[in-house]
Structures are given as structure tokens and as C-alpha cells.
Amino acid sequence: MSKGLLIVLSGPSGVGKGTVKKEFIDDPDLKLSYSVSMTTRKKRPGEVDGKDYYFVTKDEFLKKKENGELLESAEFVGNYYGTPLAEVERLRNEGRNVLLEIEVQGCMQVMEKVPDAVTIFIVPPSMKELENRIRGRGTEPEEIVQQRLAKAEREMEMSSNYRYVVCNDDPRMAADIIRVIIRRSMQKTEEK
């Protein structure tokens, strides 16, 4: 059995990564497991500890990072985020394809450590549409919305570092394109 793929999904805040992901994550042919990240950010309404994120304190986070327990980590709008390494390795060794949903700094670290990672960047149909989506979520104060928008502009400039760029005009269509990318990547590793 070959080791599972490492798939990285990125894109600016509000682009709809979660919605797109929901459309393909349970497809049995793709053998996907989602890597639950660790974060110091506050839980949003409806989020579940251990499912959406592992919600930890800053001290806990920094200790894990120091001990080399994170595959990558980044600070994003005042909070820390990181990918627990052991879980990713365990799943890949079981032949599962592991999906990370992380921001661009983290993806750059992954690319260095895992050069054959399948990296996918999701873009919005336009920046105006992205702004509408961020505001539409309505969960954050204006100051944070502004920070997320500024961050989004910078993140968009990093899209050329990714292997694939997919536009989320329609989440089901974007998910279909990602399915093709994953299936083809699986075939390529089998051919090796």
C-alpha cells in the first residue's frame, strides 16, 4: 500500500473553502481524512472542539510547537494555527489522503517539508464578491473584517505558488474540479 497524499487547500478568508470541502470530503473514492488543526482563536457559534479545531491556549500551542509536534504553523489575524504532525503521518501511513485547510504561510512550510504535496488555492470570482461573503458571515467586528480583507489581498498574490488554482463561483463545480485533481494525483502515485 502506498502512502496517502498530502493535500493542501488554501484560499482567502471567506472564499468558501469550508463549503467546497463539504462537497467532496465524504466521497469514498477519494479516501480523504481531514486534519483537524490546533488554534488559539475563540470558538465560533456552532464549532465543535476536536472536529472543527482543537481549541487550545497560547501556552499549550507554543509548547507543542517547541516540541516539534506541528507540521506547520502560522499566526493569522492575532491567533495561532497549526497542524498536528503525528496524526497526519499516522493517517498517511494507513493509506489515507490527508486534507489540510490552512493559510498560505503554513502551505509554504508544507511545500518545503513535503515537496510532492498537492496544493490547491481557491479564488473568489472577484474581490467585491469576497468582501460580501466576509461581511455576510456577520460574526466579526468591522476591525477584524478589515484585517481579514487586507490579508485576503496579500494571500491572493501567493496563489501562483500553488500547483492548482480553482475558482469558487459555484461550490459544487469547484468541488468537482478538486475531485478530478485528487483522483488524477492518486493515479499518478499508483503509476510510480
Residues that bind ligand 5GP in the complex, under the rule CB under 6 A: 13, 37, 41, 72, 74, 76, 81-83, 101-103, 105-106
- Report, in Å, the least distance between residue 77 CB and ligand 5GP: 7
- Report, in Å, the least distance between residue 74 CB and ligand 5GP: 4
CB count within 10 Å of CB 32 equals: 20
- Report, in Å, the least distance between residue 108 CB and ligand 5GP: 9
The whole-angstrom separation of Cα 113 and Cα 1 is 22
Q: Which residue is nearest to ligand 5GP (CB)?
A: 106
Distances (CA, A) of 32 to 35, 76, 88, 140, 191: 10, 26, 11, 31, 20
Q: What is the DSSP letter of 49?
A: B
Buried b (16+ CB within 10 A) or exposed e, 124-138: beeeeebbebbeeee
- Report, in Å, the least distance between residue 183 CB and ligand 5GP: 23
- Three cell numbers written together for 187: 493515479
Nearer Cβ to ligand 5GP (42/192)? 42
Nearer Cβ to ligand 5GP (56/102)? 102
